[in-house]
Amino acid sequence: MRFVYLFCWLLLPLTTWAQATFSAVWPFDGNPGGSASHPNVGTGGADFVGVAPSGVTAGSGYVAGQNGQAVNLINWSQTGGCNFGEYVQVTVQPLNGQRITLTGLTFYVNHSVSAMGNTGPQAVRVRSSLDGFSNDLSQQGVSSSFQQVSVGLGGSFANQTGPVTFRIYGCPPNGGGALRLDDLIVNGSVTTAPLPVTLLYFTAKPDGDRVQLAWATTQEINAGQFRVEHSLDLAEYKTVGDIAAKGTTDERQYYGLTDLNPQPGINYYRLKQVDRDGSTQVFKPVAATIRASEPVMTVYPNPTDADRIHLRLWNADDARVRLLTITGQSVGGQLQRTPGEADFRPVYPLPAGFYWLEITTNNQRRTLTVLVR
């Protein structure tokens, strides 16, 4: 059984979408890593397929470039047509449910020339994943001097919701030398729409052999549901439960869920918001520590009913319970126990108001305030 609290009000906000420019850059200064200038855009490192970095200095893979260093790639095919199994690949993708429009791709390129006059690939071709790498976006000759290749990207690259990959092929004639690439840049714009959910807080609090999870939002836009996930190692997560989101509102919303099966020790929880279109937003994990030997003595729910007060008595099987009026008079009743739980049932239904519940064990005494509805 899980306990869920949901308070909500309906107000439909106006959602505005804006565009911000960005650049995704692979400078090849000693490594293949890339970066983007906007947090809603992601890049990975450049991949080298069928070819490999090889440096003038053994093992380095990088030489002097147009700006700083350039990656020095060998093992290109020397004869025949362009081998489309040999390429440099980079990917740019929108993050956080946003969209990107790509406007251009540029890079510097040259080929090596050996003392015997042998060169690297003397042509490059550029293709993209939008058509399965079947057509050239650009085809250009390569010389021993760095020159910039500039590729304009048309309307088919607008409003992309997933990753877009570009491949650069080095093509014969090739005398067995290297192709050098430097400062590969993809330019474009990215939407900066509000995220589907603005999270105020997400907490996980141990409660004996359980964990009480609570969160609140200050804005929701087309939010479908929330999913709470549990992990012991921050790597593998399993679902604790799903809670329907309010949907669209800019009023504060409160949610709660109880994990009935945490493990002794540290338990990690993360909150995942699932939008109505299936997109997701994952929030930073929080932790709760279950101490198996620590007693828990609480009233739940509180306010409570007039004829039954439910208690959590985890690791408190020897607890003695006494109910008092606000003036200190003892109230007769019977304590019915089950493992980790108990119900105090008064002889007569209790008048509405505040009471004191005194719980005593061998180690401690605790007095709880109880409100009877």
Per-residue pLDDT of the chain (373 residues; tens, 9 = 90+): 333 333 332 233 334 456 789 999 999 999 999 999 998 899 989 999 999 998 654 447 899 999 999 999 999 999 888 999 999 999 999 988 789 999 999 999 999 988 777 789 999 999 999 999 999 999 999 999 999 999 999 889 999 999 999 999 999 988 889 999 999 999 999 986 666 788 999 999 998 788 999 999 998 988 999 999 999 988 899 999 999 999 999 899 999 999 988 988 899 999 999 888 777 888 889 999 988 777 778 888 889 999 999 998 877 778 899 999 999 999 999 999 988 789 999 999 999 999 999 999 877 888 999 999 8
Residues facing residue 296 across a β-bridge: 314
Of 191, 218, 237, the residue at which a domain comes to its end is 191
Please indicate, yes or no, whether residues 215 and 230 belong to a single structural domain of this protein.
yes
Q: Is 5 among the domain residues? A: no
CA nearest to 45, candidates 100, 88, 101: 88
The structure's pTM equals: 0.52
As a 3-state breakdown, the chain gives helix, strand, coil percent values, each rounded to 5, of: 0, 55, 45
Q: Is 11 among the domain residues? A: no
**Are the C-beta atoms of residues 141 and 227 closer than 8 Å to each other?**
no
- DSSP code, position 208: T
User: Checking DSSP bridges between strand 223-231 and strand 164-171, what pairing results, if any?
Assistant: unpaired
Please indicate, yes or no, whether residues 129 and 149 belong to a single structural domain of this protein.
yes
Q: Which residues contact 172 (CB under 8 A, 6 or more apart)?
A: 76, 77, 78, 79, 80, 81, 82, 121, 122, 123
Please indicate, yes or no, whether residues 101 and 77 belong to a single structural domain of this protein.
yes
Structural domain including 329 reads: 296-372
Provide the 10 A C-beta neighbour count for residue 93. 19
